[in-house]
């Protein structure tokens, strides 16, 4: 019972400040018609991409640059159709998605643990934490030569690059989330019996959810970008979308290059919209920060 009260304090920080939860809910209550409709929500994005596509089509039609440098949209579409029909595109997307999921999952697990340790253990933060901040600024492709020496040109080398490209973003996000907690909230949780492992599971982790989701989102972006860089340089491995992009460059096929760039962008955007955006909205509603 005491521990559940500590969890309630984390879920509703106003309890720790002595304010009335009902008042907080009343201030965050918005009329139902305040939520924008589906059309109003997506119309600006649809309009933007329509203008972008129209500009591309006009530039290609005017032939300011030769077609082998700027092919028209229909040529790119024909390449994507042929790649789907001959069984090239979907297996490549599946291969890259599996690589990205595995590497990102490893980075998320170890990054969360390390971020919690850095936030709670002072001497560890003063030593390892400074190194993490420095490594975050290192481009992920710089890990590829090291991975080749350690593992050879194989899947483990690619996974290593993905993990290292995403790990430090997750660590720093988790550490920042724990550090942003109010000392009063932690003190109240300990007073109500949340100590040791219970404090970590029932208080710290739920409290850092907004910062953690932000770190997850950024970590995925870094993981996907690192994977594409590794696949561009690892031609002998099983083909992924980065491999197809590199093949288009070798063949001087701009339709293939633009098509694969579009696939890479769409896949990364789809993961963000399907996975992270709903989670972020759910946490924002729970914390009463939606629309803030």
The predicted structure's pLDDT at residue 260 = 92
Q: Using pLDDT thresholds of 50, 70 and 90, give the confidence band for residue 22.
A: very low
**Mean pLDDT (the chain, rounded):** 79
For residues 272 and 217, the answer to whether their CB atoms sit within 8 Å is yes
Establish how many alpha carbons lie within 13 A of residue 285's alpha carbon, considering only the half-sphere containing its beta carbon: 7
The string of pLDDT tens digits covering residues 202-218 is 777 777 777 788 888 88
The predicted structure's pLDDT at residue 1 = 47
The predicted structure's pLDDT at residue 287 = 63
Query: What long-range pairs does 278-282 form, CB within 8 A, spacing at least 24?
Result: 279/213, 279/216, 280/213, 280/214, 280/217
Query: What does the block give as tokens for 99?
Result: 């690589």
- How far apart are the C-alpha atoms of 226 and 141, rounded to whole Å? 7
For residues 169-198, give the mean pLDDT: 77
- How far apart are the C-alpha atoms of 94 and 240, rounded to whole Å? 8
Torsion region of 121: left, alpha or beta (phi above 0 gives left; psi -120 to 50 gives alpha): beta
The string of pLDDT tens digits covering residues 125-175 is 778 877 888 888 888 888 888 988 998 888 888 999 999 989 998 888 888
- How far apart are the C-alpha atoms of 177 and 172, rounded to whole Å? 8
What lies within 8 Å, CB to CB, of 257 at 6+ separation is: 245, 248, 249
Could you tell me which residue, 200 or 53, shows the higher pLDDT? 53
Establish how many alpha carbons lie within 13 A of residue 157's alpha carbon, considering only the half-sphere containing its beta carbon: 24
Q: Would you say residue 23 has pLDDT above 50?
A: no
Q: Would you say residue 16 has pLDDT above 70?
A: no
Q: Diameter of the chain by CA atoms? A: 73
The string of pLDDT tens digits covering residues 68-113 is 888 888 899 999 999 888 888 899 999 999 999 999 999 999 998 8
- How far apart are the C-alpha atoms of 7 and 24, rounded to whole Å? 17
The string of pLDDT tens digits covering residues 57-72 is 898 888 888 888 888 8
Which sign does the torsion angle of CA 159, 280, 265, 87 carry?
positive
The predicted structure's pLDDT at residue 103 = 92
Of residues 99, 34, 141, the one with CA closest to residue 241? 99
The string of pLDDT tens digits covering residues 238-286 is 778 888 888 888 888 899 999 999 999 999 888 888 888 788 777 777 7
pTM equals 0.74
Q: Would you say residue 9 has pLDDT above 60?
A: no
- How far apart are the C-alpha atoms of 167 and 172, rounded to whole Å? 9
Vertex 56 angle, CA 55 and 61, to 5°:
100
Rg for the chain, CA atoms, rounded: 24
Element (H, E) at 221: helix 209-233
Torsion region of 152: left, alpha or beta (phi above 0 gives left; psi -120 to 50 gives alpha): left
The predicted structure's pLDDT at residue 77 = 92
For the chain, list the domains and their CATH numbers.
2-27+69-81+88-287 (1.10.3720.10)
């Amino acid at each position: 019972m005491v521990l559940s009260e500590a969890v309630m304090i984390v879920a509703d920080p106003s309890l720790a400040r002595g304010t009335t939860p009902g008042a907080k809910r009343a201030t965050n209550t918005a009329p139902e018609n305040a939520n924008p409709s589906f059309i109003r929500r997506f119309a600006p994005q649809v309009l933007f991409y329509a203008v972008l596509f129209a500009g591309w089509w006009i530039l290609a039609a005017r032939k300011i640059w030769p077609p082998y440098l700027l092919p028209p949209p229909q040529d790119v579409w024909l390449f994507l159709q042929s790649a789907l029909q001959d069984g090239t595109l979907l297996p490549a997307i599946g291969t890259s998605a599996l690589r990205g999921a595995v590497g990102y999952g490893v980075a998320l697990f170890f990054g969360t643990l390390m971020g919690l340790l850095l936030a709670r253990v002072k001497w560890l933060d003063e030593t390892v934490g400074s190194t993490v901040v420095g490594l975050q600024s290192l481009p992920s492709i710089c890990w590829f030569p090291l991975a080749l020496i350690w593992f050879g040109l194989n899947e483990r080398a690619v996974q290593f690059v993905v993990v290292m490209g995403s790990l430090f973003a997750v660590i720093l996000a988790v550490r920042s989330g724990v550090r942003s907690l109010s000392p009063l909230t932690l003190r109240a949780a300990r007073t109500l019996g949340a100590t040791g492992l219970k404090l970590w599971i029932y208080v710290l982790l739920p409290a850092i959810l907004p910062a953690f989701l932000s770190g997850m989102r950024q970590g995925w972006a870094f993981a996907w970008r690192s994977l594409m860089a590794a696949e561009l340089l690892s031609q002998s491995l099983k083909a992924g979308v980065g491999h197809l992009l590199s093949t288009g460059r070798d063949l001087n096929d701009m339709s293939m290059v633009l098509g694969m760039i579009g696939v890479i962008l769409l896949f990364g955007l789809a993961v963000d919209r399907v996975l992270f955006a709903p989670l972020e909205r759910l946490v924002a509603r729970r914390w009463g920060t939606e629309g803030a």
